A and B are shown apart, each in its own frame.
Chain A
Amino acid sequence: MSTGRGTKPGSDAGGEPISGTAPISGAAPTPGAAPAPSAGTAPGAGAGVAAGPGVRSRRRTVPADRRAPGRSPRRPLARLLGVGQPPPEGGSTTAHDLAVRHRLLLTLSALLTLSLFLSYQGVHGDANPLRTSSAPAVLSLDTAQYALGQAQKAANSAAPTSDFQRQISVAVESLSAAAADDVGGTGGRQTLQTIAGLITVYAVKVQQSQLQPDGSALREAYLSYATSVLTEEHSGIQARLTALQRQQRHAVQQQTSFGPMMWLVWVVTLLLGLALAAALLETQLFLRRRFRRRFNRQLLGALVLLAGGVVTAVLFTVWTQQGMTDTRVLLDRSLTGRRIPEAGQDTASYLAHTGFRAAAAVWILIGGILLMTLAETGLRRHIADYRFRPR
């Protein structure tokens, strides 16, 4: 919007009144001769400075009412953002203000992008391992523990039964599944191999006992050896499995907890989001005042993108976190019998779509880049209008 009417195009918008010190500042650019930049707004137009090609040769004069009576002190925000000194006494502050906002928007966008990415990853980064590895591993260990208990019952029966072999097979397969889920890393793998070896020994000792006549000393002896392999304190199969279960449940708790650090990161992220939204709005108003533009489309787009992105990220996070919490509650105690497959189904439903939501993390980075691009393009032309160079 052209401001030149020879009056105070900026002052009515709360901006800097123009000086009217001809030829440019107060003069309305002749339509066609001096196309006003920024949709007809000369830089400094309010400042009334025509910056189009047609006015390059014109002597620029800064409006008087933009001149401070003394040298403006450099404001803290500008100092923080590394913006140069404000103009000397009487100089226009528009370019300086633009530079401050430009850098502020880019800095906030970068910080928010990084913060949102990290806080999002902090929650969703654990969702995939929980869904594909940790939760199934807990259930596998529960299955193995339960099967071994059933096997011991079968081993104590007077005559050999096929149930013993079946339960041993279930236990071994469950351990293989747990190993495939990478329970406890290297140490966990070693423990699982040890347990698998012990299960073999246990099965052999039970079979040896079952080959002896009922009531014989050898039968009792072999069964006692088998029982000690299974139940020995600290080093028996069950003790090792219990320790591994405890370790795995602890891993699940760590993956699903939303601790103080996570709260802090998310609060910081949301504050950064609010700050960026406020900065975008303020810049929008600033541009409206200074350049008489109702809207800056790029900045408006950035605001919409910001709001949509943050809301989506928060919603995704709430849904995923809720699923993870439900999973933790479900797996927090040892399960037996039919409860184990049921828990598997429940877990799958709780953690459904978490993979898709976790994969959305990359869109935070893309969105951040887009946000910065919008902020950059939204302000760039105004800044370019204010690029001065010596003649």
Chain B
Amino acid sequence: MSACPGGPVTAAPGPPSRSSRRLVRTVTVVASCLAVLAAAVVIGVRALGQEPTVTLLANWTADDESHFRKAVIEPFERKYHIHVDYQGSNAESQVLGADVEAGTPPDVVVLTGPGELAEYARQKHLVPLEGLVRGADFGTSWATPLADGHVYWFPLKADVKSIVWYPADVGEEQRRQAVEQPARWCVGMGSGATSGWPGTDWIEDILLQQSGPRVYEEWARGDLPWRSPQVRKAWTTWRDLVGADGDPGLVRRALKTPYGEASRPVAASPRGCTLEHQASFIRSKPPWKRVDGRYEPSARLLFGAPANQAWEVSGDLVALLHSTPQAERLIRYLASADAQRAWSVAESGFSVHTGAQPAPGSISPWQRSLAAVLLDKGAVHCFDASDAMPPSVRDAFAEATIEFLADSRHLDALLRSLDTLSDTPGLTWVPSVCDPRP
């Protein structure tokens, strides 16, 4: 009550104008408060729970995806409170192509092919990484500047491919005998959308070991025809090793078996196969773990020659397509020694980051020796040629290995088609795939 205590007072209603003004003011204030409060609560509730997100596309699926999430993504999400929306697919190239064409590319991509990345860089879809990644951490062989002087990718993980795996209880003599028997090879060509790539690895490595890095690089750059004697010899050598024109049952099995299951017979009883020409990552598969897989350089096992210090290698290359603060944060993280170490250890792969090498006692002898191969400055490392080729040539190459394995009589037609395709104007070829010769 507003009556004044004490003193004479006058009971008088306030002037009507004042009263109505006050009424209007009160209602206006209350209504405004209500509206603002209601809107704020609704917007707040909807906004709550949303956290910044970065999209990542890679080719790891199933167990590989699970390892990647645990070893790399989850620590990143915990540390930076950024959600990583991961998409893994063995049809990564097709998916990425569709995403880019639709104008909604993922923020970050991990691809195995520098050829494909070079094509995207040429089309200005990639963001240069100079400000985000220290080139010195990887060296120019891995974080290669393109013609425009910019670096667009760096390796998250590296693998050695010029090796043949065998069980620990198989002696040298047995291995020599097994090389000559197609049934002793564990071969699997299946890989969904990218089926056929195990065949390309075979032919690339055979060419590298038979003809050396110079010829290999010429071929990978598109300068050496597919119908050249060296390349043709690599195809026929592979045919003889895996028996492409031999037992139809063997061929059928090789064609239909997914590459990840090719080594299953090695751990079966009786043992179904003994040797597998496959990259270092395959050692993490259960069959090779069970038989304590060891490796031998393919140059020595296949051709009876000492390793000529030329190794086919591959890498999972990280590139930035859409620059956001979150994506840049993820790029920096993936390029860090901690993330590189965590992923390479989880995946039985290797990092070429100079600061991410595991302590000598923490890894097995085969890991130590393969890590040494990757960092050996005296050796020549040649990047997987098909990965470095333009995507259309790469895919045709993989298809050709499937058709060749099914019927090796078609080799001439296949090589002619590949030459025709390679001569197509407008393709982007990577200028160099091998380390400079020492």
Contact = CB atoms under 8 A, between A and B. Distances in A.
Nearest to A117: B38
Given A95-B1, A118-B38, A220-B252, A389 B10 contact: yes
Nearest to A364: B38
B85 A91 contact: no
Interface in A111-169: 113-114, 117-118, 121, 125
A221 interface: yes
Given A113-B34, A197-B95, A198-B91, A228 B11 contact: no
B8 interface: yes
A194 B34 contact: no
Interface residues of B, number: 62
Contact of A390 (B1, B9, B252, B407): B9
Residue from B91, B97, B106, B403 with most neighbouring chain A CB atoms (10 Å): B91
A221 B94 contact: no
Given A56-B11, A387-B2, A218 B30 contact: no
Contacts of A377: 23
Interface in B8-50: 8-14, 19, 23, 26-27, 30-31, 33-35, 37-38, 41-42
B371 interface: no
Contacts of B9: 60, 388-391
Residue from A85, A197, A373 with most neighbouring chain B CB atoms (10 Å): A197
B82 interface: no
Interface stretch (B160-168, B185-193, B208-216): B185-193
Contacts of B406: 216-218, 221
B402 interface: yes
A104 B74 CA distance: 52
Contact residues on A (Cβ < 8 Å of other chain), bracket:
35 or more
Residue from B1, B37, B38 with most neighbouring chain A CB atoms (10 Å): B1
A385 B10 CA distance: 11
Contact of A218 (B12, B19, B89, B255): B255
B90 interface: yes
Contacts of B61: 232, 234-235
A319 interface: no
A262 to B, nearest CB: 13
B11 A221 contact: no
A189 interface: yes
B8 A194 contact: no
4 closest A-B pairs (Cβ-Cβ)? A235-B61, A197-B95, A221-B255, A201-B193
Given A194-B87, A200-B98, A386-B2, 9 more contacts: A56-B10, A91-B1, A118-B38, A118-B42, A232-B61, A372-B27, A376-B27, A384-B13, A387-B12
22 contacts: A57-B10, A91-B3, A92-B1, A95-B1, A114-B41, A187-B55, A190-B57, A190-B85, A197-B91, A198-B95, A200-B94, A221-B189, A225-B190, A225-B195, A233-B62, A235-B61, A372-B27, A384-B19, A388-B3, A388-B9, A389-B9, A389-B10
